[in-house]
Amino acid sequence: MIFLMIVIMGLAVFLNRYLFIEPRLPVRLNRGAREFLGFAVPGMLTAICGPIIFLADHHLNLSPANPYLLAGISAVGLMFWTRNVLVTVLLSMALFYLFRWLL
């Protein structure tokens, strides 16, 4: 039963993505829909990373001794400064481990 459910969900995801990848299918999104979908990735990343950064031990932690918060702020600053995703990820990970070691 579980295997069948995994296969069905895999097919649902594949067919959902395939409609937009296959060039012969006449599915075209208008400009408004494409613009709206542009907010999906930042919204999803915020929903995933927000609780990790701000809620340490299920309590709001905005102290300067929070390595997650310091690394998050550093990552935002590095992204504006370098405009390079790979450099930002590598440097912010290094800074996170440095903050965890120091704090």
Closest residue by Cα to residue 73 from 47, 54, 58, 87: 54
Beta bridge partners of 56: 59
* Per-residue pLDDT tens over the stretch 44-57: 989 999 999 999 78
The reported pLDDT for the residue numbered 72 is 94
The reported pLDDT for the residue numbered 53 is 93
Give Cα separations from 35 to 27, 29, 45, 63 (angstroms).
16, 10, 17, 36
Q: What is the pTM of this model?
A: 0.66
Per-domain residue ranges of the chain: 1-38, 40-103
* Per-residue pLDDT tens over the stretch 56-88: 788 999 999 999 999 999 999 999 999 999 999
| Distance of alpha carbon 45 from alpha carbon 63, whole angstroms | 22
Tokens of 12: 């649902």
